Structure 1
Amino acid sequence: MSVRVQPITRDEHLAFVSARPSASHTQTPAWAGVKPDWEAESLGWFDRGGRLVGAGLALLRPLPGPRLPGLPRYLAYLPEGPLLDWHEPGLDGLLEPMLAHLAKRGAFAVRMGPPVVVRRWSAEAVKAAIADPAARRLRDVRATSYDPRAGRVADTLRRMGWRQTGPGGADGFAAGQPRYVFRVPLAGRSLEDIHNGLNQQWRRNIKKAEKAGVKVVRGDLSDLPAFHELYCETAERDRFVPRPLPYFQRMWTALTAEHPDRMRLYLAHHDGEVLAAATMLTVGDHVWYSYGASTARRREVQASSAVQWRMMSDAHALGAAVYDLRGITDTLDESSHLLGLLRFKAGTGGEAVEYLGEWDHPLNRLLYRAFRFSLSRR
């Protein structure tokens, strides 16, 4: 396919996203407002007839230090994008114009995350892999299904000079968007079917929360500090670096301005105290559990389970095709503190999904090598 790539307006970009069944929230024009340290540009792919056939949000991160005349200075990043027909014959004809445009914009390299599914593992396959002492990583376990088209996309990218950034560190998480996620299919299922698909522990925890009188309510911008307090406690407990409160406030303001239901906040109350909270994102028929938070106090009332079930139920009521629990670890090592997260998500009865991962294309090899070296020193 012969196309040209050029900037488009936010309205054109949003109209393209809205016409698709689903797209990542990181590929909506509003996501630019969440990342103020990056410059942003909405890109459009136009065919010979002038029809918009693709779109993408390119985030441009400048290199630190003074700008040298004539030298490129940006890393261009399209998280979980761009939005193209990735299985279209002649994929290189869609990507080459993008590289040319971003090179003119001053990019020394382009990073993207093709939204292409490679493999899926059923909940039963994941549980069997966790129980198998010989299994070390999910990627080494026989998948329930495999899409051979993903291999053809990867072959095309390598032929064009793209480099896969790798499956992640020792815990299986990539530095950017997750390569492995856990999703619960909702399409064609009743809420009773979804509930029956949960394992016994999930169903027991939901029932405990109901009997204990946990009430889950929707919050708004003013409730984000309460969420963030629990989130920071969760970060300390689970050993990750928390995002600051202004990040979530920017996220709320930017996303809900684009669509009032793009982002939701849920809080679980018990005896006058907020014990758990979570954010939910929606684009088209795809719903994501985005960030979760909880306190260690009164864990016996299962407030977190109540939040999850409320969000899953609301996603079903919205007509969502999938409830996405986002990233999971690839490791099956019992010593990993993240294996419990995989067990928890597998209890939903959904499926683990592997994407093609993130890929880099160096446009200036010297600057790209310097960039990679700086990352390795962090």
Structure 2
Amino acid sequence: MSRHVKAISREEHLRFVAARPSVSHLQTPAWGDVKPDWRAESLGWFDGDGTLVGAGLVLMRPLPRLRRCLAYLPEGPVIDWGAADLEGLLEPMLGYLRSRGAFSVKMGPPVVARRWSADAVKAAIADPGARRLGDVEATVREDGADEIAERLRGMGWRRAEAASEDAFAVGQPRYVCQVPLAGRSLEAVHNGLNQQWRRNIKKAEKAGVKVVRGDQEDLGAFHELYVETAERDRFVPRPLGYFRRMWTALTAEDPDRMRLYLAHHDGEVLAAATMLTVGEHVWYSYGASTARRREVQPSSALQWRMMCDAHEGGAAVYDFRGITDTLDEDNHLLGLVRFKVGAGGQAVEYLGEWDYPLNRVLHKALGLYMSRR
């Protein structure tokens, strides 16, 4: 069937998203407003009858001093990835983006490849012979994922290497941790927490930790803790203006798209986090905490409140977002894996991000530029 791709309005894009149970928050029209250094455009896929059958948010980043750009669809586009004619969906997109000046296209198919249960991850961490999660036998291999990867390779797409941390780099995590909520009672979710999590939640309750929802005025308090967290965990923090822009853009699209939670104890905010919701999918987005009074377990109380609210709101999944695939005890990020999996989360591997060079010379030049920065 003949398909074509063209720009669509924000309203058309949002209606398409709203009609689906789960779409990444990075594929909503408002996300383009969060990224002012990129030129955002909503794309629509139409079949031969003119029916909108797919949508995507593409972010275009101009190459310095050239009238060409990198086109990026984070965790998208939202199309039928299992379609027999996948080529017929992706080739029109490449043609359209070439006409818009793109020299390279990067996308992140929202296709799950493998899942590891919490018990499987725990066993892998305890196994001295296991070095990376990807080398461990998965609990579930999703049907069709390997075939989609092979078809992408056959079309000329190549799996992207992990992006480095700098101003031009892009990239979303290939491995995430998700707590399934669909069809489970809150009691069952609580029972899925490991003993340490349940103990920490009780400690917080006995200590008098109170978790409340904040608003835009509380972003400053969140950011102070976030900067402290960045120093402690060795990452570069985003500025306060980024979170204010997120709040303004996302809540304008949907008042409940972004929430802020704060954990108080004796009049002081000890932990805070942002939560994003699109349909039945809820994400723990950014977290922050102080090293002071950690014994009262504010972060555990905060996460449990967010999971409870997600469950009450009918979410099918609570997504902790990215984890490392390392199982190395010397890696400081392994503690984060333990924390997230301890909440009963599954380790989930997506197909990762894929590149298509529309201009091989410029694509290679960008790769060399990035490798030297």
TM-score (norm 1): 0.96
SS in 2 for 1:314: helix
Aligned residues: 369
Measure the CA separation in 1 of the matches of 2:123 and 2:35: 40
SS in 2 for 1:148: coil
**Contact 1:166 1:357 (C-alpha < 8 Å) held by counterparts:** no
Structure 1 position 350, deviation (Å): 2.0
Q: Which residue of 2 aligns with 1:276?
A: 271
Q: Which residue of 1 aligns with 2:361?
A: 366
Q: How does 1:1-378 map to 2 (within 5 A)?
A: 1-65=1-65, 67=66, 73-166=68-161, 176-378=171-373
Q: Percent identity?
A: 75
Give, as a single letter, the amino acid of the residue that structure 1 aligns with 2:125.
I
**Contact 2:162 2:171 (C-alpha < 8 Å) held by counterparts:** no
Residue-by-residue CA offset, 1:110-131 (whole Å, 9 max, x unaligned):
0000000000000000000000
Measure the CA separation in 1 of the matches of 2:133 and 2:332: 16
Residue-by-residue CA offset, 1:196-217 (whole Å, 9 max, x unaligned):
1100000000000000101111
Residue-by-residue CA offset, 1:166-197 (whole Å, 9 max, x unaligned):
3678xxxx951110000000011111110011
Runs of 4+ aligned structure 1 residues displaced above 4 Å come to: none
SS in 1 for 2:144: helix
Residue-by-residue CA offset, 1:128-187 (whole Å, 9 max, x unaligned):
000000000000000001023011111111111111013678xxxx95111000000001
Residue-by-residue CA offset, 1:229-288 (whole Å, 9 max, x unaligned):
000000000000101100000000000000000000000010010000000000000000
SS in 2 for 1:326: strand
Measure the CA separation in 2 of the matches of 1:245 and 1:376: 29
Measure the CA separation in 2 of the matches of 1:284 and 1:179: 22
Measure the CA separation in 2 of the matches of 1:269 and 1:308: 13
SS in 1 for 2:284: strand
**Contact 1:167 1:357 (C-alpha < 8 Å) held by counterparts:** no
Give, as a single letter, the amino acid of the residue that structure 1 aligns with 2:10.
R
Give, as a single letter, the amino acid of the residue that structure 2 aligns with 1:250.
R
Give, as a single letter, the amino acid of the residue that structure 2 aligns with 1:5.
V
**Contact 2:114 2:141 (C-alpha < 8 Å) held by counterparts:** yes
SS in 2 for 1:268: strand
SS in 2 for 1:29: coil
**Contact 1:45 1:53 (C-alpha < 8 Å) held by counterparts:** yes
SS in 1 for 2:320: strand
Measure the CA separation in 2 of the matches of 1:51 and 1:135: 49
Measure the CA separation in 2 of the matches of 1:167 and 1:57: 21
Change (3 A) 1:175 1:138: farther
Structure 1 position 330, deviation (Å): 0.4
**Contact 2:276 2:284 (C-alpha < 8 Å) held by counterparts:** yes
**Contact 2:176 2:323 (C-alpha < 8 Å) held by counterparts:** yes
SS in 2 for 1:337: coil
TM-score (norm 2): 0.98
Structure 1 position 377, deviation (Å): 1.1
Structure 1 position 2, deviation (Å): 2.2
SS in 2 for 1:325: strand
Residue-by-residue CA offset, 1:297-339 (whole Å, 9 max, x unaligned):
0000101111100000000010000000000010001100000
**Contact 1:114 1:358 (C-alpha < 8 Å) held by counterparts:** yes
For structure 2, which runs of at least 5 residues remain unmatched after alignment?
none
**Contact 1:2 1:94 (C-alpha < 8 Å) held by counterparts:** no
Measure the CA separation in 1 of the matches of 2:63 and 2:132: 35
Change (3 A) 1:198 1:19: same
Measure the CA separation in 1 of the matches of 2:161 and 2:13: 30
Over the residues paired in the alignment, what is the CA RMSD in angstroms? 1.1
Structure 1, 147-156 or 316-325: larger mean CA deviation: 147-156
Measure the CA separation in 2 of the matches of 1:225 and 1:377: 35
Give, as a single letter, the amino acid of the residue that structure 1 aligns with 2:200.
N
Residue-by-residue CA offset, 1:1-52 (whole Å, 9 max, x unaligned):
4210000000000000000001000000000000000001100000011110
Measure the CA separation in 1 of the matches of 2:217 and 2:2: 49
SS in 1 for 2:110: coil
